[in-house]
Structure 1
Amino acid sequence: MSTALCDVVVVGAGAAGLAAGRALIEAGLDIRIVEARTRAGGRAFTDSVVGQPFDAGAAYIHFADRNPWVALAAEFGVTLEKHRGWGGGVAFRDGRRLDAGATAARRAGMAQFWDAMETAREEQPASGASLGDLTAGLSEGARDAALRFGQHAIGEEPERIDLADLIAQWEGPDLVAPGGYGHLVAAAARDLPVSYGVQVTRIDWSGKTVLVETTQGALRARHVVVTVPVGVLRAGGIAFAPALPAATRDALSGMTMGVLSKVALAFDGARFGWPAPSDAYALGTGFNFELFPFGRDLVIATLGGDVARDLMGQGDEAAIAATLDVFASIVGGEARQRFVAGRTAAWMRDPFAEGGYSVVRPGHGGARAALREPVGGRVRFAGEATAEGGSMTVGGATLEGRRAAAEIVEALA
C-alpha cells in the first residue's frame, strides 16, 4: 500500500462499496477499494454444496420497482425471475401436517398480524414500541406470526425490533436471480480497483486528510467511505482516532445485528413426494424449509433470532445434524438415507459480518439517519444500515453507496 494521497478510500467491497467505487470512478476521482475478504459481495454471496449453488446471504431483490439491481442485472446480462410469493407452504407441528382447523386458525392469526402492521403504517407510531408490542393484546396466532416474521424476515426476536423502523421499510415486488444474487453482485466488481485480503484496522481522521491503516500498509485520502457492517463497527473491528463523535456512537449502540442464518442440505435426487419448488414450515422449531429451488437437489433451511444463535453457536456439524433431524420429521426417515452433504451460512460467526443485517432497537428510530451524518466532513458510513426505507437489503446498500459518492463528488467540486 502507498501513502500517496488519493481522493477516496472505500472500505469494503460489498454492494455499498462497489456502488460507491463505481460512482466515484465515473466522476473521475482517484480511488482505492480495500476488502478484508478474498472476494467481493459481502453478505451477498452465492455459495455451493456438492456443486449445487445457493445464496448463503441475500437471496431476494426486494422492492423491484425501485431496486437498482434490476437495471444492473440487465446491464450484466443476468436473467431475473418473479419470486413465487410467500405463505403458500405447508405447515407442520411435531412432524405432523396441521389439520384443517389448525391451518385456518394459523391463517387467521397471520391475517390479524398483517392487519395490525397495516394499521401501524397508517398511524406511524413514534419509535419506542417493538414488533412484539404490536401483537401483545392480540391472539396467540397473531403473536406467533409476529415471532415467525421477526425470526425469519429480520433474524431477531420481536421484542428487540423497533416497530417504527420496521414499518418504514419499502414494500414492492420481489425478484430472484436463479444464477445467484451473490454472483450478480460480484459481477459489479469487475474492472474496479479492489485490493482483496486487506483488512482496515484504524482510521485516523485527525488531520486535513484521512490515514487508513491496514494489514497491508497505510493509505491516505481526502475522504473515506466505510461500508463494513454495523456488527464489525460495534465489535471494534476498526479503531478510529480520534474516537467517533457521540452521535455516531449512539447511533451504533442503537442498532444490533440480526442472525438470520441458513443451512443447505443436498440430496441425491430424491424429492420425497414433494413438488419442486415448494415450502414447508416446521412450527415450534424455528425452521422454514425451501425445497428444491430452481429444480436443484437442495433443501434450504432458514432460521433466525435466538434459535439461530443457539444452533449456529454449536458449530457446523451440529447445525447440519439438527436441520436434517427436523426435515426428516417432516418428510420421513428416507431423508437420512438420501442425504449427501450440508453447508451452513452462519453470518454471526463471520468476523467480517458479525451477523446477518442491522436491526434497530426499540426506541432508537433515528439511528440510521444519525449514522449517515459525515464525521469530520471526511468520513462517511454507507450500507444497508444507513438505508432507512431500504435497510436490510442489497438494493438499499447500493443506493447508499451512490449517496455517499455523490456527497463526496459535491464536496470536492
Structure 2
Amino acid sequence: MTSTKEPVAPDRLSSQSSSAVALHTGTSDPRTLIMRNLRQSGIYVAFVVIVALFAILTDGVSLSPGNITNIVLQYSYILVLAIGMVIVIIGGHIDLSVGSVVALTGAVSAVVVIQQGHPWWLGILAALAVGIAVGAWHGFWVAYAGIPAFIVTLAGMLLFRGLTLRVLGNISLSPFPAEYQQVAAGFLNGLIGGDGYDAFTLLIGAVAAAGYAVSGFRTRVARVRYDQPVESFPLFVARVLLVGAVIMYFAWQLAHARGLPIVLIVLAVLVLVYALLTRRTVFGRQVYAIGGNLSAAMLSGVKVRKVNFWMFVNMGFLAAVAGVIYSSRSNGAQPAAGNMFELDAIAAAFIGGAAVTGGVGTVVGAMVGGLIMAVMSNGMQLMGVDQSIQSVVKGLVLLLAVAFDVYNKRRAGATR
C-alpha cells in the first residue's frame, strides 16, 4: 500500500505557506476556508451529531450513565487495536491478522492462568510476549523479506487462528480469577469522595479537558509560527469548548454510574503515549515519511526496513493488550474470539481521517473514528435494529468516510 506521493507531516495539511498565512490571517477565500476547517474539525462535528442523533432516537437512553459505561467496557479493545492500526496505515501498510492475534494471546493467557494455575499477572506477561513475537514475525516478512503486508497478515490471520485452536484444544477456558477480571471490569471510585457521584472521575475529566485545550493551543501556535495552515481562531475556540464539554459530560455520567473504569485509564495512557510518539519523536515522523513518499524517505536516510519492522512489533504488542482486555471482559478464552476485529479497527482508522495511500492520520482521529462506530453500534442495538441493517449502515459510513477523503485530495490537487 506504499505510495510515492508527496510526504505529509503529522501536523501538516498543506505545503502552501502563502495559503497558511492567508488562512490564519483571515484573508483566504471563504469557500476554501470552510473546506479546510471541515477537514480539520469535521470528524469532531460528526461525532457530536451522531451522539445527539442517537440520544434523540433512543429517548436519552444512549447517554445514560450505565450505557456510557457499557460503551467504554464493550469497545475498549477495538480502540486499542485502532491505535496500532492507524500507525500501520500511516506507514502505508495494513494488518488483517489482529483479530486472530487477540484470540491467540487471550488463549495463551487462559492456558497459563486457568489451566496451569499460574498467577494472573504471569498470564498477562505471557500474552504480551506472544503478541510481540507475532509482531516480529510479521515485521520480518514485511520489512526484510519484502512481502506485502496485505499478504503477510492475511496469512497470519489464518495461521494464528489455527494456533488458537491448537492452544485451546478446540474448547473454551474459563473463568479467570477476580484480579484478572478487574483489568476490563474494575472501577476506581470513592478515592476523594463525592455526594452521590465520584469526585475523582470528575477531576480526571477536568484534567483531560484542560490538557486537550493546552495541547491544541500549543499546536496552533507552532503551526502559525512556521506558516502552516490553521483553522480560524473562532472555530478553534469552538472546537476546544465543544470537546471539553463532551469530555466533562462523559466524566459526569461515569461519575454517576460506577466510577472510572480501569480499562479507560489504560486506554487514556496508550492514547497519550502514542499521540506523543507519532507527533514528537523521530520514529513517528519517519512513519509519516515512509507512508507519504517511500522514495524520498529512503533518499533522506530513513532506515525503512527497521521502521517497518518496529511498526508491526508495536501492532503485535497492542493486539496482545487488546487480547488481555477482551479475555478479561469475557472472563475466558474462546476459539472464535476476535472474529472481525481487524475490520472494526481498520474502519476506525479510516473514519478518523487516515488515508488509504498512507502518510496521513492521527491517533486521536482514530479514537474518534472508533467512538463513532461504537456509538452507532450501541445506538442501533438499543433501538432493536436488525444485525443485517447494522452491517449495512456501518459499511456505508466507512465508504462515505473514505470517499470524503478522496474528494478532498482531488480538490486540493485541483487548486494547486
TM-score by length of 2: 0.27
TM-score by length of 1: 0.27
Higher strand share: 1
Higher helix share: 2
